[in-house]
Amino acid sequence: MDLISQLPEDLLHQILLKLDTTGSVRTSVLSTRWRYLWQRVPGLDLYLFVFRDNGLKGFVNRFLDLDKEKPLINQFKLVFDGGQYETEGSNFINKWVNSVVARGVQHLVLFAYYMASYYRKNDCPIIKLPGSISMCETLVHLELVNLGIHSFDSVSLPRLETMHFKSVWFSSDAALERLISSSPLLRDLNIDKIWNVEFLRVRSQTLSSLNLNVPGRITGVAIDAPRLKRLSLEFPHFIDLVLNSVSSPIRVCFNNFSLIESDFNSSTMKTLPTYLAWISKVKNLSLNCSTLKAMCAYSRPQPLPEFSNLTHLKVSFSNSVSVIELLATFLASCPNLKSLQLSICGKLYKVDTSRSHAPKCLLTSLEIVEIYSTAGGTELVKYILGNAAVLKELNLKFPVWEGAKYRLQFVEKILLLPKRSSVCQVSAHTAHEVFL
Protein backbone atom coordinates (compact mmCIF):
# COMPACT_ATOMS: atom_id res chain seq x y z
CA MET A 1 0.00 0.00 0.00
CA ASP A 2 2.93 2.40 0.70
CA LEU A 3 4.14 2.02 -2.90
CA ILE A 4 0.66 2.77 -4.23
CA SER A 5 0.36 5.80 -1.95
CA GLN A 6 3.40 7.31 -3.60
CA LEU A 7 1.71 7.43 -6.99
CA PRO A 8 0.58 10.82 -8.36
CA GLU A 9 -2.84 11.93 -7.14
CA ASP A 10 -4.38 11.92 -10.62
CA LEU A 11 -3.39 8.27 -11.05
CA LEU A 12 -4.83 7.37 -7.64
CA HIS A 13 -8.10 9.01 -8.69
CA GLN A 14 -8.22 6.76 -11.75
CA ILE A 15 -7.59 3.70 -9.57
CA LEU A 16 -10.43 4.63 -7.22
CA LEU A 17 -12.67 5.26 -10.23
CA LYS A 18 -12.54 1.51 -10.89
CA LEU A 19 -14.32 0.93 -7.56
CA ASP A 20 -17.90 1.77 -6.74
CA THR A 21 -18.21 4.86 -4.56
CA THR A 22 -18.78 2.84 -1.38
CA GLY A 23 -15.49 1.02 -1.89
CA SER A 24 -13.75 4.27 -2.75
CA VAL A 25 -14.95 5.89 0.50
CA ARG A 26 -13.64 2.93 2.53
CA THR A 27 -10.08 3.67 1.40
CA SER A 28 -10.19 6.86 3.49
CA VAL A 29 -9.26 4.83 6.61
CA LEU A 30 -5.99 3.56 5.11
CA SER A 31 -3.89 6.61 5.99
CA THR A 32 -3.93 10.39 6.03
CA ARG A 33 -2.80 10.29 2.38
CA TRP A 34 -6.03 8.52 1.43
CA ARG A 35 -8.44 10.34 3.76
CA TYR A 36 -9.85 12.78 1.22
CA LEU A 37 -8.79 11.22 -2.08
CA TRP A 38 -12.23 9.68 -2.72
CA GLN A 39 -13.81 13.14 -2.64
CA ARG A 40 -11.93 14.14 -5.79
CA VAL A 41 -12.52 11.00 -7.82
CA PRO A 42 -14.08 12.12 -11.13
CA GLY A 43 -17.03 9.79 -10.87
CA LEU A 44 -19.90 8.49 -8.77
CA ASP A 45 -21.22 4.91 -8.62
CA LEU A 46 -23.95 4.52 -5.99
CA TYR A 47 -26.63 1.97 -5.13
CA LEU A 48 -29.75 3.10 -3.29
CA PHE A 49 -29.56 0.51 -0.44
CA VAL A 50 -26.28 1.99 0.78
CA PHE A 51 -28.21 4.91 2.31
CA ARG A 52 -31.14 5.34 4.67
CA ASP A 53 -33.98 7.79 4.18
CA ASN A 54 -32.73 10.81 2.19
CA GLY A 55 -29.03 10.06 2.64
CA LEU A 56 -28.50 9.44 -1.07
CA LYS A 57 -29.82 12.86 -2.00
CA GLY A 58 -27.56 14.67 0.45
CA PHE A 59 -24.48 12.66 -0.52
CA VAL A 60 -24.89 13.30 -4.25
CA ASN A 61 -25.48 17.03 -3.66
CA ARG A 62 -22.30 17.30 -1.60
CA PHE A 63 -20.26 15.26 -4.07
CA LEU A 64 -21.19 17.36 -7.08
CA ASP A 65 -20.26 20.55 -5.21
CA LEU A 66 -16.97 19.30 -3.72
CA ASP A 67 -14.29 20.23 -6.23
CA LYS A 68 -15.05 23.41 -8.10
CA GLU A 69 -11.46 23.77 -9.38
CA LYS A 70 -11.64 20.45 -11.29
CA PRO A 71 -15.28 20.01 -12.29
CA LEU A 72 -14.72 16.99 -14.54
CA ILE A 73 -17.08 14.08 -13.91
CA ASN A 74 -15.96 11.03 -15.89
CA GLN A 75 -18.83 8.75 -14.85
CA PHE A 76 -22.14 9.07 -13.05
CA LYS A 77 -23.84 5.78 -12.16
CA LEU A 78 -26.85 5.87 -9.90
CA VAL A 79 -29.45 3.29 -8.84
CA PHE A 80 -32.17 5.15 -6.94
CA ASP A 81 -35.68 4.69 -5.55
CA GLY A 82 -37.96 5.68 -8.41
CA GLY A 83 -41.04 5.67 -6.20
CA GLN A 84 -39.53 8.19 -3.78
CA TYR A 85 -38.49 10.63 -6.48
CA GLU A 86 -41.79 10.36 -8.31
CA THR A 87 -43.46 11.43 -5.07
CA GLU A 88 -41.07 14.31 -4.47
CA GLY A 89 -40.73 15.29 -8.10
CA SER A 90 -37.74 14.72 -10.35
CA ASN A 91 -36.11 18.11 -9.80
CA PHE A 92 -33.13 16.60 -7.98
CA ILE A 93 -32.51 14.02 -10.72
CA ASN A 94 -32.75 16.69 -13.40
CA LYS A 95 -30.37 18.95 -11.50
CA TRP A 96 -27.80 16.17 -11.16
CA VAL A 97 -28.05 15.23 -14.84
CA ASN A 98 -27.65 18.85 -15.97
CA SER A 99 -24.65 19.18 -13.64
CA VAL A 100 -22.76 16.11 -14.89
CA VAL A 101 -23.56 16.92 -18.53
CA ALA A 102 -22.06 20.38 -18.03
CA ARG A 103 -19.00 18.78 -16.40
CA GLY A 104 -18.17 16.48 -19.31
CA VAL A 105 -19.61 13.15 -18.20
CA GLN A 106 -18.54 10.21 -20.39
CA HIS A 107 -20.41 7.31 -18.76
CA LEU A 108 -23.97 8.01 -17.61
CA VAL A 109 -26.01 5.18 -16.04
CA LEU A 110 -29.35 5.91 -14.31
CA PHE A 111 -31.55 3.12 -12.95
CA ALA A 112 -34.88 4.02 -11.31
CA TYR A 113 -35.59 1.06 -9.03
CA TYR A 114 -39.16 0.16 -8.05
CA MET A 115 -40.31 -2.24 -5.37
CA ALA A 116 -42.50 -5.05 -6.72
CA SER A 117 -45.56 -3.73 -4.87
CA TYR A 118 -45.12 -0.28 -6.40
CA TYR A 119 -44.21 -1.13 -9.96
CA ARG A 120 -46.96 -0.46 -12.52
CA LYS A 121 -46.59 -2.90 -15.38
CA ASN A 122 -47.86 -0.82 -18.29
CA ASP A 123 -47.39 2.74 -17.06
CA CYS A 124 -44.73 4.87 -18.68
CA PRO A 125 -42.10 6.29 -16.30
CA ILE A 126 -43.08 9.51 -14.54
CA ILE A 127 -39.50 10.65 -14.00
CA LYS A 128 -38.40 12.31 -17.21
CA LEU A 129 -34.81 13.43 -17.67
CA PRO A 130 -33.87 16.79 -19.16
CA GLY A 131 -33.28 17.14 -22.88
CA SER A 132 -29.70 18.25 -22.12
CA ILE A 133 -28.72 14.56 -22.44
CA SER A 134 -29.16 14.88 -26.21
CA MET A 135 -26.53 17.64 -26.31
CA CYS A 136 -23.77 15.99 -24.26
CA GLU A 137 -20.76 16.12 -26.55
CA THR A 138 -18.53 14.12 -24.16
CA LEU A 139 -20.88 11.19 -23.60
CA VAL A 140 -19.48 7.76 -24.58
CA HIS A 141 -21.87 5.37 -22.79
CA LEU A 142 -25.56 6.01 -21.98
CA GLU A 143 -27.72 3.56 -20.03
CA LEU A 144 -31.24 4.36 -18.75
CA VAL A 145 -33.72 2.09 -16.95
CA ASN A 146 -37.35 2.90 -16.02
CA LEU A 147 -37.05 6.56 -17.00
CA GLY A 148 -38.21 9.01 -19.65
CA ILE A 149 -36.59 11.77 -21.68
CA HIS A 150 -38.23 15.14 -22.23
CA SER A 151 -38.57 16.37 -25.80
CA PHE A 152 -35.54 18.04 -27.36
CA ASP A 153 -34.97 20.13 -30.45
CA SER A 154 -31.53 18.97 -31.52
CA VAL A 155 -28.96 16.23 -30.91
CA SER A 156 -25.17 16.42 -30.59
CA LEU A 157 -23.61 13.17 -29.37
CA PRO A 158 -20.36 13.07 -31.37
CA ARG A 159 -18.59 10.54 -29.06
CA LEU A 160 -21.43 8.21 -28.06
CA GLU A 161 -20.54 4.54 -28.70
CA THR A 162 -23.04 2.53 -26.61
CA MET A 163 -26.69 3.25 -25.87
CA HIS A 164 -28.83 0.97 -23.66
CA PHE A 165 -32.51 1.66 -22.90
CA LYS A 166 -34.77 -0.50 -20.75
CA SER A 167 -38.38 0.56 -20.19
CA VAL A 168 -37.70 4.12 -21.36
CA TRP A 169 -40.33 6.66 -22.46
CA PHE A 170 -39.70 8.97 -25.42
CA SER A 171 -41.66 12.01 -26.49
CA SER A 172 -42.20 10.58 -30.00
CA ASP A 173 -41.00 8.06 -32.58
CA ALA A 174 -38.86 10.78 -34.11
CA ALA A 175 -37.11 11.56 -30.80
CA LEU A 176 -35.65 8.07 -30.48
CA GLU A 177 -34.84 7.89 -34.19
CA ARG A 178 -32.96 11.20 -33.94
CA LEU A 179 -30.91 10.04 -30.93
CA ILE A 180 -29.77 6.99 -32.87
CA SER A 181 -29.12 8.54 -36.27
CA SER A 182 -27.35 11.59 -34.82
CA SER A 183 -24.71 9.53 -32.99
CA PRO A 184 -21.93 9.20 -35.60
CA LEU A 185 -19.82 6.72 -33.55
CA LEU A 186 -22.63 4.49 -32.21
CA ARG A 187 -21.59 0.81 -32.23
CA ASP A 188 -23.81 -0.94 -29.65
CA LEU A 189 -27.56 -0.32 -29.26
CA ASN A 190 -29.70 -2.28 -26.79
CA ILE A 191 -33.43 -1.53 -26.48
CA ASP A 192 -35.49 -3.56 -24.02
CA LYS A 193 -39.06 -2.20 -23.99
CA ILE A 194 -39.80 1.40 -24.92
CA TRP A 195 -42.89 3.53 -24.40
CA ASN A 196 -44.71 6.00 -26.66
CA VAL A 197 -42.99 4.67 -29.77
CA GLU A 198 -45.19 3.06 -32.43
CA PHE A 199 -42.77 2.44 -35.30
CA LEU A 200 -39.09 2.01 -34.48
CA ARG A 201 -36.53 3.21 -37.00
CA VAL A 202 -32.85 2.43 -36.52
CA ARG A 203 -30.58 4.31 -38.94
CA SER A 204 -26.84 4.21 -38.31
CA GLN A 205 -23.78 4.02 -40.53
CA THR A 206 -21.58 2.72 -37.69
CA LEU A 207 -23.79 0.34 -35.68
CA SER A 208 -22.34 -3.18 -35.33
CA SER A 209 -24.52 -4.72 -32.56
CA LEU A 210 -28.30 -4.30 -32.18
CA ASN A 211 -30.54 -5.95 -29.57
CA LEU A 212 -34.28 -5.22 -29.68
CA ASN A 213 -36.91 -6.52 -27.26
CA VAL A 214 -40.01 -4.47 -27.93
CA PRO A 215 -43.59 -4.61 -26.56
CA GLY A 216 -46.60 -5.67 -28.60
CA ARG A 217 -47.71 -2.11 -29.27
CA ILE A 218 -44.77 -1.61 -31.66
CA THR A 219 -46.23 -2.06 -35.16
CA GLY A 220 -42.98 -2.35 -37.07
CA VAL A 221 -39.20 -1.98 -37.16
CA ALA A 222 -37.03 -0.58 -39.94
CA ILE A 223 -33.28 -1.13 -39.75
CA ASP A 224 -30.76 0.64 -41.97
CA ALA A 225 -27.30 -0.29 -40.69
CA PRO A 226 -24.74 -1.35 -43.32
CA ARG A 227 -22.09 -2.37 -40.74
CA LEU A 228 -24.36 -4.48 -38.55
CA LYS A 229 -22.75 -7.77 -37.44
CA ARG A 230 -24.98 -8.95 -34.59
CA LEU A 231 -28.76 -8.66 -34.56
CA SER A 232 -31.13 -9.90 -31.83
CA LEU A 233 -34.89 -9.43 -32.24
CA GLU A 234 -37.36 -10.45 -29.53
CA PHE A 235 -40.98 -9.67 -30.37
CA PRO A 236 -44.25 -10.98 -28.86
CA HIS A 237 -45.40 -11.69 -32.42
CA PHE A 238 -44.14 -11.25 -35.96
CA ILE A 239 -44.30 -7.57 -36.80
CA ASP A 240 -43.44 -5.68 -39.98
CA LEU A 241 -39.67 -5.82 -40.43
CA VAL A 242 -37.77 -3.76 -42.99
CA LEU A 243 -34.05 -4.47 -43.41
CA ASN A 244 -32.26 -1.95 -45.63
CA SER A 245 -28.54 -1.89 -46.41
CA VAL A 246 -27.80 -4.53 -43.78
CA SER A 247 -24.62 -6.43 -44.51
CA SER A 248 -24.31 -10.20 -44.33
CA PRO A 249 -23.39 -12.66 -43.04
CA ILE A 250 -24.09 -11.70 -39.42
CA ARG A 251 -25.15 -13.33 -36.17
CA VAL A 252 -28.93 -13.21 -35.75
CA CYS A 253 -31.33 -14.12 -32.92
CA PHE A 254 -35.10 -14.23 -33.55
CA ASN A 255 -37.38 -14.88 -30.56
CA ASN A 256 -41.17 -14.58 -30.26
CA PHE A 257 -41.82 -15.49 -26.66
CA SER A 258 -45.61 -15.23 -26.45
CA LEU A 259 -46.40 -16.67 -29.87
CA ILE A 260 -48.92 -19.52 -29.71
CA GLU A 261 -50.49 -21.82 -32.30
CA SER A 262 -53.51 -19.55 -32.75
CA ASP A 263 -51.16 -16.73 -33.79
CA PHE A 264 -50.15 -18.63 -36.94
CA ASN A 265 -52.72 -16.68 -38.94
CA SER A 266 -52.66 -15.15 -42.37
CA SER A 267 -51.05 -11.97 -41.06
CA THR A 268 -48.16 -13.91 -39.49
CA MET A 269 -47.71 -16.03 -42.59
CA LYS A 270 -47.64 -12.86 -44.69
CA THR A 271 -44.93 -11.25 -42.54
CA LEU A 272 -42.81 -14.35 -42.01
CA PRO A 273 -41.20 -14.46 -45.51
CA THR A 274 -39.28 -11.27 -44.64
CA TYR A 275 -37.67 -13.05 -41.71
CA LEU A 276 -37.01 -16.21 -43.71
CA ALA A 277 -35.37 -14.24 -46.50
CA TRP A 278 -33.05 -12.64 -43.99
CA ILE A 279 -32.14 -15.96 -42.36
CA SER A 280 -31.02 -17.20 -45.76
CA LYS A 281 -28.18 -14.66 -45.57
CA VAL A 282 -26.76 -15.43 -42.13
CA LYS A 283 -24.21 -17.90 -40.75
CA ASN A 284 -25.07 -17.87 -37.03
CA LEU A 285 -28.72 -18.09 -35.92
CA SER A 286 -30.59 -18.40 -32.60
CA LEU A 287 -34.29 -19.27 -32.38
CA ASN A 288 -36.76 -20.11 -29.65
CA CYS A 289 -39.44 -22.76 -29.85
CA SER A 290 -42.32 -20.42 -30.80
CA THR A 291 -40.40 -18.97 -33.73
CA LEU A 292 -39.34 -22.40 -34.95
CA LYS A 293 -42.93 -23.69 -34.73
CA ALA A 294 -44.17 -20.75 -36.80
CA MET A 295 -41.54 -21.42 -39.45
CA CYS A 296 -42.45 -25.09 -39.57
CA ALA A 297 -46.15 -24.17 -39.85
CA TYR A 298 -45.23 -21.95 -42.79
CA SER A 299 -43.51 -24.90 -44.46
CA ARG A 300 -46.67 -27.02 -44.64
CA PRO A 301 -48.27 -25.39 -47.70
CA GLN A 302 -44.92 -24.34 -49.20
CA PRO A 303 -41.29 -25.34 -48.58
CA LEU A 304 -38.91 -23.22 -46.54
CA PRO A 305 -36.14 -21.48 -48.48
CA GLU A 306 -32.72 -23.06 -48.32
CA PHE A 307 -30.45 -21.59 -45.65
CA SER A 308 -27.22 -22.56 -47.37
CA ASN A 309 -25.09 -19.99 -45.49
CA LEU A 310 -26.17 -21.20 -42.05
CA THR A 311 -23.39 -23.07 -40.21
CA HIS A 312 -24.23 -22.45 -36.52
CA LEU A 313 -27.71 -22.88 -35.01
CA LYS A 314 -29.05 -22.51 -31.45
CA VAL A 315 -32.61 -23.46 -30.51
CA SER A 316 -34.34 -23.29 -27.12
CA PHE A 317 -37.36 -25.51 -26.42
CA SER A 318 -39.84 -25.28 -23.55
CA ASN A 319 -42.85 -27.32 -22.48
CA SER A 320 -43.77 -30.57 -24.24
CA VAL A 321 -43.01 -30.24 -27.92
CA SER A 322 -42.08 -32.55 -30.75
CA VAL A 323 -38.44 -31.52 -30.75
CA ILE A 324 -37.25 -34.12 -33.23
CA GLU A 325 -40.02 -33.45 -35.74
CA LEU A 326 -39.51 -29.67 -35.58
CA LEU A 327 -35.75 -30.03 -35.88
CA ALA A 328 -35.96 -32.41 -38.80
CA THR A 329 -38.28 -30.03 -40.65
CA PHE A 330 -36.05 -27.00 -40.15
CA LEU A 331 -32.71 -28.77 -40.61
CA ALA A 332 -33.89 -30.01 -43.99
CA SER A 333 -33.33 -26.42 -45.15
CA CYS A 334 -29.83 -26.18 -43.60
CA PRO A 335 -27.60 -28.31 -45.86
CA ASN A 336 -24.29 -26.92 -44.55
CA LEU A 337 -24.90 -26.79 -40.80
CA LYS A 338 -21.78 -27.59 -38.75
CA SER A 339 -22.74 -26.74 -35.15
CA LEU A 340 -26.05 -27.27 -33.30
CA GLN A 341 -26.86 -26.17 -29.74
CA LEU A 342 -30.14 -27.19 -28.10
CA SER A 343 -31.65 -26.10 -24.77
CA ILE A 344 -34.62 -28.18 -23.62
CA CYS A 345 -36.65 -27.25 -20.52
CA GLY A 346 -39.51 -29.69 -19.99
CA LYS A 347 -40.47 -33.19 -21.04
CA LEU A 348 -40.17 -34.31 -24.64
CA TYR A 349 -42.82 -36.09 -26.64
CA LYS A 350 -41.87 -39.70 -27.27
CA VAL A 351 -41.60 -40.34 -30.97
CA ASP A 352 -40.54 -43.20 -33.17
CA THR A 353 -37.17 -41.92 -34.33
CA SER A 354 -36.88 -44.67 -36.91
CA ARG A 355 -39.58 -42.91 -38.93
CA SER A 356 -37.95 -39.47 -38.69
CA HIS A 357 -36.00 -38.67 -41.82
CA ALA A 358 -32.40 -37.54 -41.61
CA PRO A 359 -31.74 -34.10 -43.13
CA LYS A 360 -28.76 -33.71 -45.42
CA CYS A 361 -26.71 -31.78 -42.87
CA LEU A 362 -26.77 -34.73 -40.44
CA LEU A 363 -25.32 -36.94 -43.14
CA THR A 364 -22.69 -34.62 -44.59
CA SER A 365 -21.78 -31.56 -42.45
CA LEU A 366 -22.89 -31.58 -38.78
CA GLU A 367 -19.77 -31.94 -36.61
CA ILE A 368 -20.63 -30.55 -33.16
CA VAL A 369 -23.82 -30.92 -31.09
CA GLU A 370 -24.39 -29.50 -27.60
CA ILE A 371 -27.54 -30.37 -25.64
CA TYR A 372 -28.70 -28.82 -22.37
CA SER A 373 -31.69 -30.74 -21.02
CA THR A 374 -33.67 -30.72 -17.78
CA ALA A 375 -35.54 -33.93 -18.60
CA GLY A 376 -33.22 -36.44 -20.17
CA GLY A 377 -33.80 -36.35 -23.90
CA THR A 378 -32.58 -39.89 -24.64
CA GLU A 379 -34.67 -40.14 -27.82
CA LEU A 380 -33.22 -36.89 -29.14
CA VAL A 381 -29.66 -38.06 -28.51
CA LYS A 382 -30.48 -41.41 -30.09
CA TYR A 383 -31.77 -39.64 -33.20
CA ILE A 384 -28.66 -37.50 -33.54
CA LEU A 385 -26.12 -40.27 -32.87
CA GLY A 386 -27.95 -42.64 -35.19
CA ASN A 387 -28.00 -40.22 -38.13
CA ALA A 388 -25.06 -37.80 -37.82
CA ALA A 389 -22.51 -39.48 -40.07
CA VAL A 390 -19.63 -37.01 -39.61
CA LEU A 391 -20.29 -35.98 -35.99
CA LYS A 392 -17.11 -35.30 -33.99
CA GLU A 393 -18.43 -34.07 -30.63
CA LEU A 394 -21.62 -34.59 -28.63
CA ASN A 395 -21.56 -32.47 -25.46
CA LEU A 396 -24.27 -33.09 -22.86
CA LYS A 397 -25.00 -30.45 -20.23
CA PHE A 398 -27.05 -31.01 -17.08
CA PRO A 399 -28.67 -28.50 -14.70
CA VAL A 400 -26.89 -28.02 -11.39
CA TRP A 401 -29.70 -29.69 -9.44
CA GLU A 402 -29.23 -33.02 -11.19
CA GLY A 403 -27.17 -35.32 -8.98
CA ALA A 404 -24.06 -37.22 -9.99
CA LYS A 405 -25.95 -40.54 -9.88
CA TYR A 406 -28.54 -39.33 -12.40
CA ARG A 407 -25.84 -37.95 -14.72
CA LEU A 408 -23.92 -41.23 -14.57
CA GLN A 409 -26.99 -43.32 -15.34
CA PHE A 410 -27.96 -41.08 -18.25
CA VAL A 411 -24.47 -41.13 -19.75
CA GLU A 412 -24.31 -44.91 -19.41
CA LYS A 413 -27.51 -45.14 -21.50
CA ILE A 414 -26.08 -42.80 -24.11
CA LEU A 415 -22.83 -44.73 -24.44
CA LEU A 416 -24.81 -47.87 -25.29
CA LEU A 417 -26.59 -46.18 -28.19
CA PRO A 418 -25.37 -46.96 -31.71
CA LYS A 419 -23.30 -44.20 -33.32
CA ARG A 420 -23.22 -43.67 -37.05
CA SER A 421 -19.99 -41.68 -36.79
CA SER A 422 -16.96 -43.71 -35.77
CA VAL A 423 -15.04 -40.64 -34.56
CA CYS A 424 -17.72 -39.08 -32.35
CA GLN A 425 -16.67 -38.31 -28.76
CA VAL A 426 -19.36 -37.96 -26.06
CA SER A 427 -18.79 -35.73 -23.02
CA ALA A 428 -21.03 -34.71 -20.11
CA HIS A 429 -20.81 -32.04 -17.42
CA THR A 430 -22.89 -29.67 -15.29
CA ALA A 431 -23.96 -26.32 -16.75
CA HIS A 432 -24.47 -23.45 -14.31
CA GLU A 433 -26.46 -21.46 -16.85
CA VAL A 434 -28.63 -22.24 -19.85
CA PHE A 435 -26.67 -21.10 -22.86
CA LEU A 436 -29.66 -19.64 -24.70
Is 371 inside any structural domain? no
Q: What is the pLDDT along the chain (436 residues), one digit of tens a residue?
A: 455 555 555 565 555 555 555 555 555 445 555 544 555 566 676 766 655 556 667 777 777 775 555 567 888 888 887 777 665 556 788 888 998 998 889 999 999 887 654 445 445 567 889 999 999 999 999 999 999 999 898 999 999 999 999 999 999 999 999 999 999 999 999 999 899 999 999 999 999 999 999 877 888 899 999 999 899 988 877 788 888 877 766 788 887 655 445 455 555 667 788 888 888 888 999 988 888 888 888 887 788 899 999 999 999 887 656 788 889 999 999 999 999 999 887 666 555 555 557 899 999 999 999 998 765 678 888 899 999 999 999 998 887 676 677 777 888 888 889 999 999 998 887 765 444 4
Is 56 inside any structural domain? yes
Closest C-alpha to 47, from 89, 91, 105, 110: 110
Helix (H, G, I), strand (E, B) or coil at 262: helix
Name the residue range of residue 166's domain. Answer: 42-188
Cβ atoms of 264 and 294 closer than 8 Å? yes
Is 69 inside any structural domain? yes
- Beta-carbon contacts of residue 186 (< 8 Å; ≥ 6 apart): 160, 161, 162, 163, 180, 204, 206, 207
Is 308 inside any structural domain? no
Helix (H) or strand (E) holding 378: helix 378-387
Is 205 inside any structural domain? no
Is 138 inside any structural domain? yes
Is 131 inside any structural domain? yes
d(CA 97, CA 252): 35
Is 93 inside any structural domain? yes
Number of structural domains, the chain? Answer: 1
